[in-house]
Structure 1
Amino acid sequence: MSSLDTNPPNAPIHVSTHGTDWLWAVFALMTVAMLGMFVMTHMRPRGTRFFHNIALIILTVSAIAYFAMASDLGATPIQTEFRASGARQIWYVRYIQWFINFPLLLVLILTTTGLAMSDILQTAFFAWVVVVTGLVGALTSTSYKWGFYVFGLYALFHIWTMLWAHGHRTIFNAGAGMRTGYGRGAGWVTFITLLYPICWACSEGGNVISVTSEMVWYGILDLLLGPIFLYYFIWSLRAVDYAAFGLQSLKYTDTTYGSAYGAAAGPGVVAPTTRAKEAEATGVGHAGVVPGAAPGIVPVGPTTGAAV
């Protein structure tokens, strides 16, 4: 029994039974990749899961999105502009998937470079521009959709510029060898993202190909940019020192105070438990103020400069 029998299509131009079969296959691959990444993530020590966690989020969102599309859910009918007359299924659930995944994918890649966080966040913003303009254009039944298409291409060009003109020129804290791996990854992402607007123009935009062909095309691209790329990316970082990326502020610290707190806080900072013990021994109040000292002044140790 096909999912089309349970959830009938809501437009004359809709996905076929073979199309839903393909979507179920992609959903299965996404789910297996998600479970595998879940296991790999929890095999890593705490504090070294940043890239694994992002990959896990991307794969989880993709699995959910493909479950919805395979079930013939998450689409709305929109009148076509060209070729066959009638309404075509536009899959907004796919754009929700991209809205979450595309910025995360760029953050995953650009974090390995020496780009400033503001540049990385700006690139993530333009990823949202690409997805939102694509969605609004797909939901527009007139020729004005191509205006949104142009805005999306502009945003995509900006992303490519950040990947190559800026990201590739930075100093890679993880070592010169990381530059080569980044170049291959950035090239792969650039090539695959170049194919997405072509598919959009042939499907949601120009109504040139069928909905089933659209599903096959987008499904292949999502697999290439999802499980295949993510597993290659995570594998390529297996021997890289995690601390070299400068992500100390994102590392795991124990919820209990003590040595873990002091190690995470850095030199010159004393854990609260240590501070309390010293206060008891020296007569300093728990607020860190010596009787008679000016308010807000914390005494400093004679040799280390650490607060006592």
Structure 2
Amino acid sequence: MAGNDALNLNPPDASLHISTHGSDWLWAAFSVMAFCLLVAVGVTFTRPRGSRLFHQIAVIVLATASITYFSMASDLGATPIAVEFRGDGSDPSRQIWYVRYIQWFITFPLLLLELLLATGLSLSDILTTLFMGVVLVVCGLVGALVHSTYKWGYFTFGCAALFYIWYVLLVHAPATQFAAGVVRNRYRLASGYLAFMLITYPICWACSEGANVISPTSEMIWYGILDILSGPVFLAIFLWELRGVDYSTFGLQSGKYTGYNEKAVPAAAPATTV
């Protein structure tokens, strides 16, 4: 079995670690991510040059997730940290998967960017929202690596950043002037879906890295389902909803070369709100 091979070649260095079944699940999640990556790459090449931004963001997200899940399935990318709530009076250590937070550091801001580029938000609002996404991930990582009760301080900071992101996704962005009315309704569907998914991540963190309530294997299953739903599934829904929208609606056409011997005539750049 793949799980047995991975744990034998890369033995865990923590007393609380994933099981062979956990590794098998991670290999399955990796297969899903890799397959969706190949599909995204194929779909991207069907788009005209200069109108592939949303699809290329999806490719970056899925490529990062594929590498991450390959690492975790191989039992790589974790470090042992003493748990705060020991339960049985022992002094166990738990696998903390920093490679997962590296994934989120890259993919979470990109998922937000994917959404917010379809809105009328100013560049400054988009930049601030992306920064809050980085704050959320970094606070989760630092909190997971802290073995004392101070980890909950970082958890609180991360939740505060998440509240700001929810406000932008669900209140501020929908109130902006969209380039086309049809985009607004499709944005609301995608943003509502992503906002709902985001609330489940702090719950999983609190039960796993935070309070040590669930095992690392259960943590992997929970996070894996969330990553699939907020990664490939979300991207498929979002890109499908935008399939019939003229790319020029967003004002994102590239003025660079569209071929080896042909240069696109740059369109007049619209005024950008800063």
Query: Which of the pair has the greater relative contact order for Cα pairs under 8 Å at 6+ separation?
Result: 2
Q: Which residue of 1 aligns with 2:52?
A: 49
**Distance in 2, Cα, partners of 1:125 & 1:206:** 27
Bigger Cα Rg:
1
**Distance in 1, Cα, partners of 2:27 & 2:261:** 48
Q: Which residue of 2 aligns with 1:133?
A: 139
Structure 1 stretches of 4+ moved >4 Å = 254-258
Q: Which residue of 1 aligns with 2:192?
A: 187
Output aligned runs, 1:27-106, within 5 Å.
27-84=30-87, 85-106=91-112
Query: Is the Cα contact below 8 Å between 2:49 and 2:258 reproduced in 1?
Result: no
Q: Which residue of 1 aligns with 2:127?
A: 121
Quickly say closer, same or farther: Cα 1:251–1:224, change in 2 above 3 A: farther
Query: Is the Cα contact below 8 Å between 2:51 and 2:252 reproduced in 1?
Result: no
Deviations 1:68-89 (A, max 9, x none): 0000000000000003431000
CA shift, 1:172, in A, is: 1.0
CA shift, 1:254, in A, is: 4.3
**Distance in 1, Cα, partners of 2:140 & 2:170:** 23
* Residue segments in structure 2 that go unaligned for 5+ positions in a row: 270-274
Does 1:142 pair with 2:148? Answer: yes
CA shift, 1:219, in A, is: 0.2
CA shift, 1:251, in A, is: 4.7
**Distance in 2, Cα, partners of 1:73 & 1:105:** 25
**Distance in 2, Cα, partners of 1:252 & 1:115:** 25
Q: Which residue of 2 aligns with 1:163?
A: 169
Q: How many positions carry a matched residue from both structures?
A: 263
User: What is the one-letter code of the residue matched to 1:183?
Assistant: R
Does 1:197 pair with 2:199? Answer: no
Does 1:247 pair with 2:252? Answer: yes
* Residue segments in structure 1 that go unaligned for 5+ positions in a row: 268-308
User: What is the one-letter code of the residue matched to 2:85?
Assistant: F
Identity of aligned residues (%): 55
CA shift, 1:179, in A, is: 1.1
Query: Is the Cα contact below 8 Å between 2:119 and 2:176 reproduced in 1?
Result: yes
User: What is the one-letter code of the residue matched to 1:171?
Assistant: Q
Query: Is the Cα contact below 8 Å between 2:132 and 2:162 reproduced in 1?
Result: yes
Q: Which residue of 1 aligns with 2:272?
A: none
- Alignment equivalent of 2:241, drawn from 229, 236, 260: 236
- Alignment equivalent of 2:266, drawn from 264, 267, 291: 264
**Distance in 2, Cα, partners of 1:225 & 1:95:** 15
**Distance in 2, Cα, partners of 1:219 & 1:152:** 20
CA shift, 1:171, in A, is: 1.1
CA shift, 1:264, in A, is: 1.1
Quickly say closer, same or farther: Cα 1:27–1:257, change in 2 above 3 A: closer
Does 1:219 pair with 2:228? Answer: no
Q: Which residue of 2 aligns with 1:276?
A: none
